[in-house]
Chains A and B, each alone.
Chain A
Amino acid sequence: MLTAILIMALGAVILGAALGYASIRFRVEGNPLVEKIEAILPQTQCGQCGYPGCKPYAKAIAEGEAEINRCPPGGQEGVVKLADLLGREVEPLDVEERPRQVAFIDERSCIGCTLCLQACPVEAIIGAAKQMHTVAAALCTGCELCVTPCPVECIRMEPVREKIDGWKWKYPVFEITPSKRAA
């Protein structure tokens, strides 16, 4: 009986020492996974996931605090990519997916208050105090953060119009027509 206890104790001590050494030897600094997750996120910095920006959300995912289906701009496709990277199950997006849009400032009513300028996380709005502002459509990520701060409600979101340069071939779909049957 004593031998059994001694041997088990000895084994435990040796293994414990080995593991303790290994935990020092192979310590991991930071979490490189965050960068990989962030690369998938759409970088709108819109905060719709409940985190202030894409990087904090990526960090939260990496630490297992957040679900992967919180990013509306990334769409269902983003969820699938994250699930792929992390080996998690694909979940449906927890909000409705919307077509891509950009902000548009009605330049007649803009008073040049710079509030939207301060709200834009990606510096897509150009203007100065008491000057009319405008949105650089190519830079706008459609995060809608500039809509609410506007005191005169002159900002609205417009869906992105399809252009020839960015036009995509559609997935081939064929109509199935019933064959004519002799009456």
Chain B
Amino acid sequence: MSALFQFNGGVKPATHKARSAQTPIDTAPLPTLLVVPLHQSIGSQPRPLVRAGEHVKKGQRIGAADKWLSSAVHAPTSGKVLAVEERVAAHPSGLSALSIVIAPDGKDEWIELEPFDPATLPPERVREILRDAGVVGLGGAVFPSHVKTEAAKTRALEALVINGAECEPFMTCDDRLMRERAEGIARGVAIFRDLLRPRRVLVGIEDNKPEAIAAMLSAVEAIGEDFTVVPVPTRYPAGGAKQLIRVLTGKEIPADRRSPEMGAQCFNVATAYTAWRAVAFGEPVISRIVTLTGNVERAGNWEIRLGTPLREILPLMRPKADTNRYIMGGPMMGFELPSLEAPIVKASNCIIAGSPSLFPPPAPEMPCIRCGACARACPHELQPFELYWFARARNFGKTQEYKLFDCIECGGCSYVCPARIPLVQYFRFAKSEIWSRERDKASADAAKARFERRQAREARERAEKAERLAKASERKAAPASTAPNDAAPDETEAARKAAIAAAIERARVQREGVQAGNTGDPDATRREEVAGAGIGQCRAVDAPDAGQDSRREGQ
């Protein structure tokens, strides 16, 4: 086994893992209502495939991947689609997102599943299966896995890193999954291995999970693969993809590069497991293991259907009376769920019931004294105090100079800050502000391009019209004045004026003619002419128009 590397800093918060890690994974009962948000992954929002009133079966695709960087969503059980509408999402904003509301029929009836033997399929087909089964990174980042299984064109992949570190406090879903379903994980890793063809496969697990390490070791041995299971020192955030890659391979991934370009790729253990279920059994991702813990009577891990509202899982965890909020994700990186109606999604690895005693309200922020504790804790070797200074002053250019986008928002700096400054909140604020500016800039550029195209088109149309008129008047002027075409400008000017005058005159005559025809006593031929067609009239209408136009051009 190769030597381990280190990342800078990190923190060691109390893990609180023991409570929820004791009991095996349990299956949550069927909820009375499911609200499945369509947009559960990075990338574009999937297209809804069902309408209100339709009947869906368990595992039926209800949202299709819109582009390559997108991932499908599926009905978690059989039942009737009540609505396709905006419902409150599991998002810190508390805003709504397009969701499919399903009333389960209680039969829990599967669609016909299509199992494959992963070894016999071409890689493109496997990626399509992963996309259509909705396999995304279940560690919390929800990046579509089929995109991550595309190797970099520039270099061969050196190391495939499987992330079983699970460094966030309270969280034990990956721990339990590795203990109970190690073989499935290993087979899923084999699928990723076949797609990426790395030189070696490293499974990193924090050394506070000896049972998981043992289970993974025996599973790898059982299926006869050469994956290396590596215990890594317990230190938050060892489970960050970039940190784990650093620890296992010594490679550093900068913000503007994808890890395959640096020769490494990282998947979560739960992702590997769902990939195996998707390919070998045809089962799409319709549920996930969620740790329910915190201020509760019964902590543990449950397999919960995606789309189950938080309200429906409260009976499983039995929160204590003083629970005042629910946090999705860990205490370091998670956020408070905006409502009890917010559903479980692919990113929900953990729900923590919070209480004032468990998470005391933040102490008032004190001025930064530049002690540098945050810089010592930062796993990316950034200088959070400098970033904070400029983010607070809204000097976003400077924050980018200090590599704001290398920040993974792990919360280590906020954790150690003696002045209790919520540093990560400032960084998130600065990041979303910069993104919004980039979006505005892009749309302003597009608007400018459209405006300029429009102006160019108008100018061209004007020029064409002028040319047409000039030609027309030239043609008409030619018999009147026998001036040659290569005459001096003032002569053509005179010709044009003459043409205009002629046009006006013609128009007048025609108008009079029509009027005469209409007012006078119509003889037979006249009547025939008027009834015959609107040709004369058309000309009469056209002519003054042309006259006006040419006059305008003449001016």
* A-B interaction: yes
Task: Evaluate contact between B440 and A169: CB separation under 8 angstroms.
Answer: no
Given the complex of chains A and B, what is the CA–CA distance between A122 and B422 in angstroms? 42
Q: Are A43 and B432 in contact (CB under 8 A)?
A: no
Contacts of A182 in B (CB 8 A): none
B448 to chain A: closest CB distance in Å? Answer: 4
Does A65 sit within 8 A of B, measured CB to CB?
no
B window 441-476: CB within 8 A of A: 443-448, 450-451, 453-454
A170 to B436, CA, bound (A): 12
A30 within 8 A of B: no
Whole-angstrom CA separation of A121 from B455 in the bound complex: 9
Contact with B along A49-68 (1 / 0, CB 8 A): 00001100000000000000
* Stretch from B89-97, B119-127, B146-154, B259-267 contacting the other chain: B89-97
- 8 Å CB interface, A78-94 against B: none
A44 to B445, CA, bound (A): 10
Q: Do B439 and A166 touch across chains, with their CB atoms under 8 A apart?
A: yes
* A170-B445 CB under 8 A given contacts A42-B440, A45-B451: no
Alpha-carbon separation in the docked complex, A182 to B431 (Å): 43
A29 within 8 A of B: no
Report if A108 contacts B (CB, 8 A): no
A44 touches B364 (CB 8 A): no
Q: Once the chains bind, are A169 and B95 in contact (CB under 8 Å)?
A: no
Given A166-B436, A168-B436; A44-B447 close (CB under 8 Å): yes
Q: B96 — which chain A residues lie within 8 A by C-beta? A: 164
Chain B neighbourhood of A172, CB < 8 A? 365, 422, 425-426, 429
Residues of B within 8 A of A138 (CB): 443
Report the Cα distance A141→B447, complex, angstroms.
8
- B318 at the A interface (CB under 8 A): no
B438 CB, nearest partner CB in chain A, Å: 11
- In the complex, the answer to whether A139 meets B425 with C-beta atoms within 8 Å is no
- Report which of B95, B365, B428, B450 forms a contact with A122, defined as CB distance below 8 A: B450
- Among the listed B362, B446, B448, which residue makes an inter-chain contact with A54, where contact means beta carbons less than 8 Å apart? B448
Contact (Cβ within 8 A) A169 B444: no
**A164 and B451 contact, Cβ closer than 8 Å, known pairs A43-B445, A169-B425, A169-B432:** no
* Interface size class of chain B, counting residues whose CB lies under 8 Å from the partner chain: 20 to 34
B433 touches A168 (CB 8 A): yes
Question: Within the complex, what minimum Cβ distance (angstroms) separates B408 from chain A?
Answer: 15
The answer to whether A171 touches B429, judged by C-beta atoms less than 8 angstroms apart, is: yes
A residues 20-73 in Cβ contact with B at 8 Å = 38, 41-45, 53-54
Indicate with 1 or 0, residue by residue over A85-107, a CB within 8 angstroms of chain B CB atoms.
00000000000000000000000
Q: Which residues of A sit under 8 angstroms from B93, Cβ to Cβ?
A: 162, 164, 167
B95, A53: Cβ atoms under 8 Å?
Answer: no
**A139's contact among B95, B436, B450, by CB below 8 Å, is which?**
B450
Decide: B428 and A162 in contact? CB cutoff 8 A. no
Name the residue of chain B whose CB is nearest to the CB of A168: B432
Question: Which chain A residues lie closer than 8 Å to B454 at the CB level?
Answer: 121-123
Q: Which residues of B contact A122 (CB under 8 A)?
A: 447, 450-451, 454
Task: Report the minimum CB–CB distance from B296 to chain A (whole Å).
Answer: 28
Chain A 126-154 near chain B by CB (<8 Å), digits 1 or 0: 00000000000011010000000000000
In the complex, which residues of chain B have a beta carbon less than 8 angstroms from the beta carbon of A170? 429
For window 46-91 of B, CB contacts with A under 8 Å fall at 89, 91
- Closest-CB distance, A166 to chain B (whole angstroms): 6
Q: Is the CB of B448 within 8 A of A164?
A: no
Query: B447 to A168, Cβ gap below 8 A?
Result: no
CA distance A42 to B95 in the complex (A): 27
Smallest CB separation, A105 vs chain B (Å): 18
**Minimum distance in angstroms from A48 CB to a CB of chain B:** 15
Asked whether A176 is an interface residue with its Cβ less than 8 Å from the other chain, the reply is yes
Contacts of B448 in A (CB 8 A): 38, 43, 45, 54
How far does the Cβ of B387 sit from chain A's closest Cβ, in whole Å? 13
Residue contact A176 to B451, C-beta cutoff 8 Å: no
Please indicate the chain B residues that have their CB under 8 angstroms from the CB of A42 in the complex: 440, 444
Query: A167 with B432: in contact, given A42-B440, A172-B425, A174-B362 (CB under 8 Å)?
Result: yes
A168: which B residues are within 8 A, CB to CB?
A: 429, 432-433, 436
How many whole Å from B488's CB to the nearest CB in chain A?
A: 34
Is the C-beta of A163 less than 8 angstroms from some C-beta in chain B?
Answer: yes
A121 and B451 contact, Cβ closer than 8 Å, known pairs A43-B444, A163-B95, A174-B365 = yes
A53 and B429 contact, CB distance less than 8 A: no
A residues near B89, Cβ cutoff 8 Å: 164
Whether A167 contacts B95 by the Cβ 8 Å rule is: yes
Q: How far is the CA of A172 from the CA of B426 in the complex (A)?
A: 6
Task: Tell me, rounded to whole Å, the shortest Cβ–Cβ distance linking A6 to chain B.
Answer: 56
* Across-interface contacts of A171 in B (CB, < 8 A): 429
B544–chain A nearest beta-carbon distance, Å: 21
Q: Is the CB of B444 within 8 A of A164?
A: no
User: Chain A's nearest CB lies how many Å from the CB of B312?
Assistant: 22
Distance in angstroms between the alpha carbons of A139 and B446 in the assembled complex: 8
Does A164 contact B425, Cβ atoms closer than 8 Å?
Answer: no
A172 to B93 Cα, complex, angstroms: 14
Question: Judging by beta carbons under 8 Å apart, are B444 and A162 in contact?
Answer: no
Closest to B423 in A: A172
- On A, residues with C-beta under 8 Å from B are 38, 41-45, 53-54, 121-124, 138-139, 141, 162-164, 166-172, 174, 176
Q: Which B residues have a C-beta under 8 Å from some C-beta of A?
A: 39, 89, 91-93, 95-97, 362, 364-365, 422, 425-426, 428-429, 431-433, 436, 439-440, 443-448, 450-451, 453-454
Q: List 7 A-B contacts (CB under 8 A).
A: A43-B448, A43-B451, A121-B454, A141-B447, A167-B95, A169-B92, A169-B433
User: With contacts A123-B451, A139-B446, A170-B429 known, what are 7 further pairs, Cβ within 8 A?
Assistant: A43-B445, A141-B443, A162-B93, A168-B429, A169-B428, A169-B429, A172-B426
Closest 6 CB pairs of A and B: A43-B444, A169-B428, A43-B448, A168-B432, A172-B425, A167-B93
